[in-house]
Amino acid sequence: MSARIGQSVGNYRLVRQLGAGGMGAVFLAEHTLIGKKVAVKILHRELAQDREVVTRFFNEARAVNQIGNEHIVDITDFGQSPAGDHFFVMEYLGGRALSDVLVKEQRLAPERALKIAAQMADALAAAHAAGIIHRDLKPENVVLIDKHGDRDFVKILDFGLAKLTEGKGGPLTRAGVVLGTPQYMSPEQCESRTVDPRSDIYALGVLLYQMVGGAVPFDGQTMAEILVKHVNHPPPPLRGVPPAVEKIVLRCLEKSPADRFPSMIELRETMREAIPPTLPARAERSPSEPARRGGVEAPRSGRRRTSRRLLSRVPLILGIIGAVAAVASVIVTLVRSPPPEEPLAARPLAVTPLPVDAASPVVQPLVVSVGVGTDPPGAQIVDEKSGSVLGVTPARLDLERGRELPILLRLPGYEPRRQTVKASGDTDLMIELEKSKRRRSSRNR
């Protein structure tokens, strides 16, 4: 049974659900005595049996409190309720998710997108300085609130997949398990390689691309298709975007981390420099409106002096007009008498040979990627032959092409499910789990 509206969690009463994700649900809650509104995140009960998932859940609260940046949501408390729910309490923002803003507006003006992205970079620079990599940056995890007179004041949420770098507790993720949201994952995340802060730079580049371009650079019908594009395909060109902004985006989206911005701080400063300065509004005056000085009509004597100055300059103006006309006549003559074209056969034909690289990716890779998901999520994936745990759903398995892997899916409260994964190509499997028959039969007695 999951948390219910009206239930007490710590000193707070759950009022309504705000949203849900892969690890938990978020509720609006009120303090039972003083009525203060907060947001409470509660871990899904089906995941509470996995020690690593619980550790990662509380790691989010610990990670956020280590950062202490105004653009990151503030977490004030965490623990376990008498009902057994793992939770933490954070400030209630009540703003607009960037995902909702993009659905409504499609594209943002480049200067607005840069201001939003620069605030995100400021928050992530602080996170990186604390030894924390977010790894799941996406529009749903960015909230815009009204603060300090700014309606686009950024707050970043959901450090549930945050990685603590070495010396800060060590990584919590099993090797070979892909974590993140496919459209915003860096190539090294897609290939389950080691990530560093430059992985967040790539994700921020994807977000900036989406804000100014109206869509993510890489999408597809399956998770495997999206991951392959991140690793191998160049991003589609941006249309109607200032060159300075496009240059920033493309550098963020370099496949190799070494070719991206070296740090989030440098990216932040580059974006701030690219934001055009705000110019003061200039009052426009119609030609028929009399010239005024300090709100008073200009004296007529001033008008007469202006007229005399204009009359004295008439010969000069006529001379300029005559020179322009002469130049124009020459241009017309040149346009009407083009040089004879070179015969087509005499022109050298420029041919760019296609590169042939035996080491480049081919149509039939030796290793394929198989996504394994369950309904509900959170099931352990066990290799039936070796007995080793391969991951927790949803997860991706990199297997040798043609291999058949027998797996066992285990989730407390549900029947174990056996499945043979056939690695014939990149694909995704979604497997429905049945509730435990033993539990149902015991209730009927």
* C-alpha Rg value of the chain to the nearest Å: 31
Cβ(235)–Cβ(250) under 8 Å? yes
**Active-site residue, 136 included:** yes
Cβ(226)–Cβ(218) under 8 Å? yes
**Rounded alpha-carbon distances, angstroms, from residue 215 to 1, 102, 105, 227, 238:** 38, 9, 12, 16, 10
Peptide bond into 376 cis (omega under 30): yes
**Dmax (CA) of the chain:** 112
Q: What are the two backbone dihedrals, phi and then psi, of residue 57, each rounded to the nearest 5 degrees?
A: -60, -50
Q: What are the two backbone dihedrals, phi and then psi, of residue 293, each rounded to the nearest 5 degrees?
A: -120, 115
92 Cβ contact list (under 8 Å, min separation 6) = 28, 37, 38, 39
Q: Among the options 85, 136, 152, 200, which is catalytic? A: 136
Distance, in Å, from the CA atom of 395 to the CA atom of 175, rounded to the nearest integer, reads 11
**Rounded alpha-carbon distances, angstroms, from residue 102 to 99, 192, 213, 334:** 5, 29, 11, 51
As annotated, the active-site residues are 136
